Structure 1
């Protein structure tokens, strides 16, 4: 079944063809063990009587909530509370949580998915100052800033809030949730700088916090990244958190290393750098300052956790028994073996391979699941650069060779491809890092390293690459959206992000439907939702695509402005409520057994459109 896109038919895009999914999986998807050479992985099946084949899924919007606030992160991280049948969504614009009742959610598709506003919310607020207990048992007050993350375990809600000064310690606020989704405050627990993500272990005995520790703009204050572990007993959190620091709590599994090989920060950074971990910062940079924990997922048995270290192109393996962390580099995607569109100047999808160009995976959201008793981690490979007033690693390829900019050279092979591509308006447009590429420091870039891998990946528990979706996302999106692929989310301008990180795979979650395990991946920019059957991680298959956006609507906003819709700055948001979902930031899968409709659901928070959209996902 193939439904064609019609811009005036709700902006809805679907691809529900099993034959195409198999073809795409076999032709343009790479299964890899070695991050550098993309060697073919092992294939296999996991089922009987035809159940190992991917099944066609029907994805449809059954409800949608709109804040009416655009470009201000009014709908970010989403969670689900089963007792009250409510979706919880962070409203960063108003710094509270939207509690959206799904009790009377439809089981049939809404009439106009891109403009539907059938769901309503109540505001869940929290204080701007809290009292916490320090490590010696004394109480102190913390001034709070923005809410960044929420997690729900049964009726226990955890809210991660950064400090009023972003580089100061933040706090996790715990609440008991009622059958109506209302909260009774339990306590606040102090954690590290910029708690960006909080999650519970599956057994509910711990809350884990990724403290990102971002610097301020001029890099005069760069706090250390860390992991906070808060014990939970009978739904009551401990008064204080245990910190996994990113200095002495880092472990190395290489038996060739002795204690004296890793007894200083400089030695640890050198070893990690040699292993492929990317460090990029000004003078005075350290391992703990540079590592910025982004997102945590926990193994099914609650023994191990995994944290994305996005800017470092790494994942940390956390041992929850001894509270140590091992940092594993992810390697690089070889764009000489895949194809990408690297320019926004031609305004059309055109894919090419470039030898010597590599993509850093740099995942944002990660999730995990079990196959044959082993844990596997899936990652949305968004990419991210350090780009601050006090230090920036970001540069366009054309500026590397510009005498007025870096005034360096490209290798003969790279220069030939640069010229053949069309020069400064083509390969020259691509943004790359200055932290890698000139390995011998001779002012010649032998390689180029771009941000993100424009894909999702599956890694084993030791962070060896099992599968990568290759160039699927770009080609699938271009096939369906045409020139609108890689569009910006602040206006309907196609091919706008090709020179940066492409569609930017941002959000990911895993769910099981009738015995099959699926990965749901959303791209931040154009808003694509991709679904893959990952039941067997060594035999994955593309299943379907959906995009809840109308590209015919004329709108323009700038999320860098205090008022993203400021008409005095040339912005136009008069019709943006008809444009659909913009900037998907997070996904939460709800199984049929936990769903208020007894059917599997996806809840997606869209930060630019300020909308929360509920999808029903069923087998055809």
Structure 2
């Protein structure tokens, strides 16, 4: 079973809350992925693991810990006080903690696609002491929680500065020194700030987006990079809380859809905080290498939240779920993407186009196309709302 995060009591080891429920109700809880041999894969975000459920016996056969992602070879923005978008590499890790998961087949092999949102745990039970598995970077030095094994002086110094890692939120359960279990030999953030592809048979990592999700938002929609939304800023534009989530989980990639457009397998990847949707395609080759095609934000960045909502151009804020409709099943004979915005309370229907045109747009544009491409090749794009 490996090492599973347990941000809950030892008596409820996986925090699944399934043991008192009949098996027929299990499919309404959490997220299940159909697999081969009558199995399902169930993701448990806080535990950073995927469990295998045998449908015939209603028992969990195995649990696969997902491990961690290293940021020493990629870059990340970890501060709200650094003056803007500042992507830096750090000798730290993050735990994937996927929210949405989807399965797909490619050239005879089965894969799992995960949106690695991340999530800390905060509990305040009645008549009990509140608890959390979160620690700010500054706390690690203030409370002398660093192990001698953590040797990077650059990292130690950065924890004392809120413009670097001082406000970053780390896991208190991961990276503990086995010989000195009250101190940390390595530091782990929450969430992978992107999406990953895993082998469905053994849940081994096949491909990861590394820092590309943050970089694409920074390039095409910089005013809402790692942004947030709050009723206190309803009379401000979406840029009011620019960079506010960098200390925590960044873009919080949370939703996924998979479809086929023009003979290509296409991934749609939704980010909670900036409410952007990225489009990737897969080449028809053995190596899994998703290629960025476009990114869209369907709201109006030049209006306040209130104005945009009243004018019905707020977009899909917090795209919690997405569904792909093939051209064959579409009433318009064009592939569609259905997007549910949790905060905006919206359901939108988008046409998905396969276009040879390179369309230049700035984040402030309010036209049918909201997309970019990084090359002059054929690319896929999401057009304006159909309904």
Quick one: distance in 2 between partners of 1:529 and 1:365?
Answer: 14
Match of 1:504 among 242, 248, 252: 252
The 8 Å contact of residues 81 and 162 in structure 2, kept in 1 or not, is answered as no
> Any idea what SS the aligned residue of 1:450 has?
strand
Q: What 5-or-longer segments of structure 1 have no aligned partner?
A: 1-271, 556-572
Match of 2:6 among 279, 290, 295: 279
> Any idea what SS the aligned residue of 2:300 has?
coil
Match of 1:388 among 89, 108, 123: 123
Deviations, residues 372-409 of structure 1 (Å, cap 9, x unaligned): 33211100000011111232111211122224xxx523
The 8 Å contact of residues 347 and 494 in structure 1, kept in 2 or not, is answered as no
Match of 1:517 among 255, 265, 271: 265
Shift of 1:328: 0.4
Task: Tell me if 1:582 matches 2:317.
Answer: yes
The 8 Å contact of residues 291 and 309 in structure 1, kept in 2 or not, is answered as no
Quick one: distance in 1 between partners of 2:96 and 2:154?
Answer: 26
Q: Counterpart in 1 of 2:145? A: 408
Q: Counterpart in 2 of 1:53? A: none
Q: Counterpart in 1 of 2:66? A: 330
Quick one: distance in 2 between partners of 1:306 and 1:442?
Answer: 32
The 8 Å contact of residues 135 and 171 in structure 2, kept in 1 or not, is answered as yes
Shift of 1:528: 1.2
Match of 1:346 among 82, 107, 111: 82
Q: Counterpart in 2 of 1:548? A: 298
Quick one: distance in 2 between partners of 1:452 and 1:364?
Answer: 9
| Structure having the higher Rg | 1
The 8 Å contact of residues 97 and 118 in structure 2, kept in 1 or not, is answered as yes
- Larger RCO (CA under 8 A, 6+ residues apart): 1
> Any idea what SS the aligned residue of 2:157 has?
helix
Shift of 1:598: 0.8
Deviations, residues 25-70 of structure 1 (Å, cap 9, x unaligned): xxxxxxxxxxxxxxxxxxxxxxxxxxxxxxxxxxxxxxxxxxxxxx
Shift of 1:432: 0.9
Deviations, residues 547-591 of structure 1 (Å, cap 9, x unaligned): 113333334xxxxxxxxxxxxxxxxx4654444331110000000
Q: Counterpart in 2 of 1:468? A: 208
Q: What 5-or-longer segments of structure 2 have no aligned partner?
A: 19-28, 125-129, 356-387
TM-score with structure 2 length normalisation? 0.78
> Any idea what SS the aligned residue of 1:416 has?
helix
Deviations, residues 292-351 of structure 1 (Å, cap 9, x unaligned): 86312213x673321111111111122334433211011110011111000112351111
The 8 Å contact of residues 137 and 160 in structure 2, kept in 1 or not, is answered as no
> Any idea what SS the aligned residue of 2:123 has?
coil
Deviations, residues 149-170 of structure 1 (Å, cap 9, x unaligned): xxxxxxxxxxxxxxxxxxxxxx
The 8 Å contact of residues 79 and 162 in structure 2, kept in 1 or not, is answered as no
Deviations, residues 503-534 of structure 1 (Å, cap 9, x unaligned): 10111011011221111110001011111113
Shift of 1:538: 1.8
Task: Tell me if 1:459 matches 2:207.
Answer: no
Of 322-331 and 502-511, the range deviating more from structure 2: 322-331
